[in-house]
Chains A and B, each alone.
Chain A
Amino acid sequence: MTEKMDGLLSPYRVLDLTDEKGLFCGKLMGDMGADVIKIERPGGDPVRNRGPFYHDEADPEKSLYWFAMNTSKRGITLDLEKPQGLEIFKKLAKTADFVVESFPPGTMDRLGVGYADLEKLNPGLILVSIAPFGQTGPYKDFKGPDMVMWATGAGPFMRTFDSYDRPPFRVSHHPQTYFHAGTEAVVGAMVALYHRGTSGEGQHVDVSIQECVNWHPCGDWDFNKRVQKRGAFMIQMKVTVKHIWPCKDGHVMWRYTGGPMARRHSIPLVKWMAEEGMADDWLKNFEWDKFSHYNTTQDIVDRMEEQTVRFFMTHTKTELMTGAIKYRIMLYPISSTLDLAESPQLKFRGFWTQVEHPELGTTITYPGKWANNSETPPVISRRAPLIGEHNLEIYGRELAISKESLETLKRDGVI
């Protein structure tokens, strides 16, 4: 194993049994320095067959999605459905501080490695279970693809998105709800770890994805028994005020605002527009103190916005962000992945991490630390494991299983 820097979680070992729903949890713990062992079924995890792929070559060793979700982990293959596999898992569990799993609820119990069993084996062990609807309740066995988790957890939030003439939508591409659950699971794991540090006892952390993406706390329903219809907010406002604007090479986010907020919105932008000769006298002399979205007319807003669209269309996202900093305007670009890759802020912060992929003969730029801690920042210590990459290292050297036994286990499809 390569030498790791001292990390927040350096002394701890994590056995990662998760599928797509929980991979992110182990990744974050690995980046914080834990020794994370990804346990895959023989042949590899199905996520390896999901794209995007390195050079678009669909290959279980070239999934960029897999790469992103499994940094800082070692990897072994093991079939828990086979008795010898289970025995090996139990041996490993004795050496572990955490087991993270996302099987259908009840699977671990059925295999004889539920929390009650693991607790006997290793009283300090923390079992983290991630499931669409948690380990209990009438929906516990329901299926939970990302779209369904958005619906059942973040439904009220989706209802606030725009395009009210179309069905509610989710964030595109990869399962965001699983990322939320993975991150939240680390929070739960950390609380349990702190408790173990002071008490010595482990416990079972039950993570329901539905609850992780429930972001509407007490609101109008709880307080006033009111429910807002989709788009009702727009109807209540007498005028439509643009929030997402086109510019020369994409879009930016900004809005005409009056009152005290004008100081960081309307006033500095109009000043900049005026300096470039793109604001008329009416706009330059506008009284922002008196302007509000609730006391104006669409004609007035349109007159402001027409000249502003013209101004934005003469500038790129980068130019507009640079101007936003200079003029102190609360304006932000709608960044693409290309913009992020070129962001001077992320570069300055040392965000990007070069990760070596020797078998591909290349180095890939990864998003790195989420926090610039003074002592122990998160760091990607290694690329995602290949299928069974550390079988020999862990089974052979750490568990001292003989070469002959390993051959037998391989032949029997256990590893």
Chain B
Amino acid sequence: MGKLPFEGIKVADFCWVWTGPTTTKVLADFGATVVKIESHKRLDVWRMQPPFKDDVVGPDRGAIFNSINTGKLSVTLDLSHPKGIELAKKLVAWADVVSDNFAGGAMKRMGLGYEVLKQIKPDIIMMSSALMGQTGPWHDSPGYGDQLSAISGLHEISGWPDRPPGEIGFYTDFIAPRFNALTLIAALEYRRRTGKGQYLDIAQHQGGVQYVAPLLLDYAVNHRVATREGNRDAYAAPHGSYRCQGEDRWCAIAVSTEEEWQSFCRVMGDPAWTKDPRFATLQKRQENEEELDRLVNEWTMNLTDDEVMLKLQAAGVGAGRIGTTQDQMDNDPQLKFRNFYQEREHPELGKYHPPRQPCVLSKTPCQIKRAPLIGEHNEYVLKEILGLSDEEIEPLIVEEVIQ
């Protein structure tokens, strides 16, 4: 293996829960030394959330935590202790990047605001990824990804027009880490080029809202307020999820061009209803979509989800199985071929299968290493990175600054 892109880049990582750790995972997977600063007093939420290996509760046994913290080092510092803050500042002096995803203003309150850190390390890049950012009337509002998705306009356009907005989970949690990572890496590149560090005050809200951009322009220009369309699409019919053989099995189908419609009918065996004038054009199919969906379901119901997908794709029609985690991990020839899940050994878990980064770089692919046990690298971080002696470390342990 050649040198990874971020070899030599050092990160003092205060991130926790989902969006922050998923961001710094990018740096770790591509070679950076990421020191995750955590604490037994205030455990990373995902260390104590199910699912756990064999349902045995423990901070090193959570599935999600061990997926999104690959390749990091863990040190346990009590940041509510003044000496904990002192050690944190020593890590800042060592680091190129400092990262956090607390609610706005939290780092400042701990005495670790950008102005302080800049004194310690003038070219530091500090990334604070808060829900609402570090300024503004709502800046210190804490919250989770479902709440952020709600206020970012994404729930309003999800679900069925005849029902309240649909639950789409922690949707922005999959958006924010990308905006964090691309901004942070671009800032690293900018520093490499100019020598200048900076403060990246990222509002996860401002990233999430980008995903409704065309609808915001529609409001700005045409004063139209967007709402939910279920699985309808302005440019395709049939379009949606169709029931397949077996319990709770579904296949998505999207037919947009005339050519695709012809192929779709052919694959179904050209049943008589496809010649019905009610379905003759895209517009007609959309006008009679409920009936169309019923008829398509009659066909899909007798086939497995894989059969529907493979038959239609072979004919050039967009179709895809709505798989479960089991389907994706054990029975997806594409993900398997591309080694998406990577088997790793973990002292508490045995074998487990964290996914790699979605971007495959031809010369410097990411390297996934297992996630750290809590406090696993205390000695390494204190001695090798901070250069503390045993005499200096002992009182810190006694005072529970290091736990």
Contacts and interface: CB of A to CB of B under 8 A. Distances in A.
Given A134-B360, A191-B359, A341-B219, A372 B135 contact: yes
Contacts of A115: 362
Given A150-B252, A205-B359, A251-B164, A373 B182 contact: no
Interface in B341-379: 341, 349, 352-355, 357-364
B28 interface: no
B305 to A, nearest CB: 9
Size category of the binding interface on chain B: 35 or more
A401 B51 CA distance: 63
Contacts of A205: 359-362
A198 B192 CA distance: 9
B334 A370 contact: no
B209 A346 contact: yes
Contacts of A207: 358-360
Contact of B221 (A152, A197, A213, A364): A364
Interface stretch (A75-83, A165-173, A302-310): A165-173
Given A52-B224, A138-B334, A251-B165, A367 B362 contact: no
A365 B175 CA distance: 22
Interface string A221-247: 111111101100000000000011010
A346 B187 contact: no
Contact of B210 (A145, A345, A370): A370
Contact of A246 (B53, B164, B340, B352): B164
B182 A367 contact: no
Given A179-B210, A224-B51, A371 B252 contact: no
A50 B235 contact: yes
Question: Among B66, B207, B364, which residue has the most Cβ atoms of chain A within 10 A?
Answer: B364
A107 interface: no
Contacts of B362: 115, 203-206
B159 A170 contact: no
B34 interface: no
A212 B320 contact: no
B138 A345 contact: yes
Nearest to A133: B334
Nearest to B118: A374
Interface string A48-86: 001110111000000011011100000000000000000
Contacts of B181: 187, 190
A156 interface: yes
A282 interface: no
A289 interface: no
Interface string B146-183: 11101111111111100111111101011100110111
Interface in A169-198: 169-174, 176, 179-180, 183-188, 190-195, 197-198
B224 to A, nearest CB: 7
Contact of B190 (A8, A156, A220): A8
A157 B252 CA distance: 14
A204 B224 CA distance: 41
A122 interface: no
A214 interface: yes
Interface stretch (A267-275, A328-336, A406-414): A328-336
A340 B224 contact: no
Contact of A147 (B142, B159, B318, B359): B318
Contacts of B114: 374
B253 interface: yes
B394 interface: no
Nearest to A127: B362
A272 to B, nearest CB: 16
A370 to B, nearest CB: 4
B279 to A, nearest CB: 19
A141 B367 CA distance: 27
Contacts of B251: 151
Interface of A: 8-9, 11, 28, 32, 50-52, 54-56, 64-65, 67-69, 115, 133-134, 136-140, 142-152, 155-163, 166-174, 176, 179-180, 183-188, 190-195, 197-199, 201, 203-208, 210-227, 229-230, 243-244, 246, 250-253, 264, 321, 324-325, 330, 332-341, 344-346, 348-349, 351, 364-367, 369-376, 378
20 contacts: A9-B189, A52-B217, A68-B213, A134-B338, A136-B338, A139-B334, A191-B361, A191-B364, A197-B192, A203-B361, A214-B328, A246-B164, A325-B138, A330-B147, A337-B215, A340-B209, A367-B213, A370-B183, A370-B207, A372-B203
Given A223-B51, A372-B203, A373-B199, 4 more contacts: A203-B361, A243-B146, A334-B150, A371-B202
